[in-house]
Amino acid sequence: MSATPSHETVPASTTPPAPSFASGVWLVAQREMVTRLRSKSFTISAAILVLGVLAAVLLGGIFGGSTESTKVAVVGSAAQVVGSTEGLESVDVATRAEGEELLRSGDVSAIVLPSSGTPPVTVVGLDSPPQGVLAALSIQPDIELLDPASQPTGLIYIVALGFGIVFMMSALTFGTMIAQSVVEEKQTRIVEILLSTVSARVLLAGKVVGNSLLALGQIAAIAIAAVLGMMVTGQKVLLGTVGPAVAWFVVFFVIGFVLLAAIYAAAASLVSRSEDIGSVTSPVMILIMVPYFLVIFFNDNPTVMAIMSYVPFSAPVGMPVRIFLGTAEWWEPILSLAVLVASTAVVIVLGARVYSNSLLRTGARVKVSDALRG
């Protein structure tokens, strides 16, 4: 077929078959992804986020004392145990008191005392269990704390904060992008051409799929950067405990993001100008930011965390934190995931309705109730 069909009398016989729902969605998704990846602001901010996480993990490793040569004060026969351990550098001291002096001044990370029990040493830390030393000794010796910290270790805080920040940043970034892409099509009116070709559902699904894939890609890159960082800095203990939580986080994030993406698209379809995006997406932003603040302030509150880990909007942050803390039963992430999937399905149906009923209404903001009624 050529673009000048003067020689064709019955074009119907040469028309191509209809693209299926899936191929239509994929075409739209592809365009979304290509457009984003070509935008410098997107690639730069994505790179910054990944590098930021990598830097945080690396710095945490270096300043966290988990480097290869952790200095420990060794008393008496404990030297036999420590001396044969890789990654620990012994500083021989005569008495425990001498060791405590070094420990308090920060010259050593821990004191290793001989002990009559099994294993035959006691590790003395300052304010928290010296993770690196424990990892290196690879058996669980008795632990004594001179000044026990009133809170659980700061690591929990950092991990919780990490999940919270990564979820919030990614959801906000990609949610805003979906909103912009929806309004761009309304504002430039190309949506009418698109709707004369494909259904609103194909359009919506394509946007959600395209942006979710990008978001997943970014989250995966962040996860890989974090894991690589831990391996490079030798934080094997951390990797062992955080690893499963990170894996669950990625799974929860994908579903949770699809949920938010559908809400963002539906909300954005209510307005016709990019200046108005803020007014309709700010309620969604609150839904995204609340889990972030909750996880910062309540990561040591089991009740709040348990509720968070089941509420669809906060589950992507709440459940991985509980998995990291080891407070979640094996079936809990699965149940929470089921709740999340079910609520996502409902939101997609409602969102698609709002979206297709609002797309051609330009001008004033469309009321949600009108858009739902059609």
Partner 1 sequence: MLEIQNVEKRYGERTVLRDVSFTVPRSRMTGFVGGNGAGKTTTMRIILGVLAADGGTVLLDGDPLTADDRRRFGYMPEERGLYPKMKVAEQLVYLARLHGLTPTAARRNADALLDRLGLGERSNDLVESLSLGNQQRAQIAAALVHDPEVLVLDEPFSGLDPLAVDVVVGVLRDHAASGAPVLFSSHQLDIVERLCDELVIIADGEVRVAGGTDALRREHGGGRYELLVAGDVGWLRAVDGVSVLDFDGGYALFEADDATAQAVLRRATADGGVVSFGPQNPSLAQIFREAIGK
Residues of the shown chain interacting with partner 1 in the complex, contacts defined by CB under 8 A: 1-12, 14-19, 24, 27-28, 31, 35, 184-185, 188-199, 360, 362
Nearer to partner 1, 67 or 187 (CB): 187
For the CB of residue 350, give the shortest distance to partner 1 in the complex, in Å: 20
Nearer to partner 1, 31 or 236 (CB): 31
For the CB of residue 291, give the shortest distance to partner 1 in the complex, in Å: 33
Nearer to partner 1, 31 or 96 (CB): 31
For the CB of residue 126, give the shortest distance to partner 1 in the complex, in Å: 57
For the CB of residue 40, give the shortest distance to partner 1 in the complex, in Å: 12
Nearer to partner 1, 169 or 202 (CB): 202
For the CB of residue 345, give the shortest distance to partner 1 in the complex, in Å: 25
For the CB of residue 16, give the shortest distance to partner 1 in the complex, in Å: 4
Nearer to partner 1, 16 or 117 (CB): 16
> Distances in Å between the alpha carbon of 192 and those of 35, 203, 350, 355?
20, 12, 21, 13
Q: What are phi and psi of 304, to 5 degrees?
A: -60, -45
> Distances in Å between the alpha carbon of 336 and those of 19, 255, 264, 339, 373?
36, 11, 22, 5, 31
Nearer to partner 1, 28 or 166 (CB): 28
**Structure-block tokens of residue 79:** 């030297």
Nearer to partner 1, 197 or 282 (CB): 197
Nearer to partner 1, 104 or 189 (CB): 189
Q: Is the dihedral of CA 48, 51, 53, 59 positive or negative?
A: negative
Nearer to partner 1, 17 or 326 (CB): 17
Nearer to partner 1, 146 or 190 (CB): 190
For the CB of residue 268, give the shortest distance to partner 1 in the complex, in Å: 16
For the CB of residue 335, give the shortest distance to partner 1 in the complex, in Å: 40
Residue 288 near residue 168 (C-beta atoms within 8 A) = yes
Mapping DSSP onto H, E and C, the string for the chain reads CCCCHHHCCCHHHHCCCCCCHHHHHHHHHHHHHHHHHHCHHHHHHHHHHHHHHHHHHHHHHHHCCCCCCEEEEEECCHHHHHHCCCCEEEEEECCHHHHHHHHHHCCCCEEEEECCCCCCEEEEECCCCCHHHHHHHCCCCEEEECCCCCCCCHHHHHHHHHHHHHHHHHHHHHHHHHHHHHHHHHHCCHHHHHHCCCCHHHHHHHHHHHHHHHHHHHHHHHHHHHHHHHHHCCCHHHHHHHHHHHHHHHHHHHHHHHHHHHHHHHHHCCCCCHHHHHHHHHHHHHHHHHHHHHHHHHCCCHHHHHHHCCCCCCHHHHHHHHHHHCCCCCCHHHHHHHHHHHHHHHHHHHHHHHHHHHCCCCCCCCCHHHHHHC
For the CB of residue 211, give the shortest distance to partner 1 in the complex, in Å: 16
For the CB of residue 218, give the shortest distance to partner 1 in the complex, in Å: 21
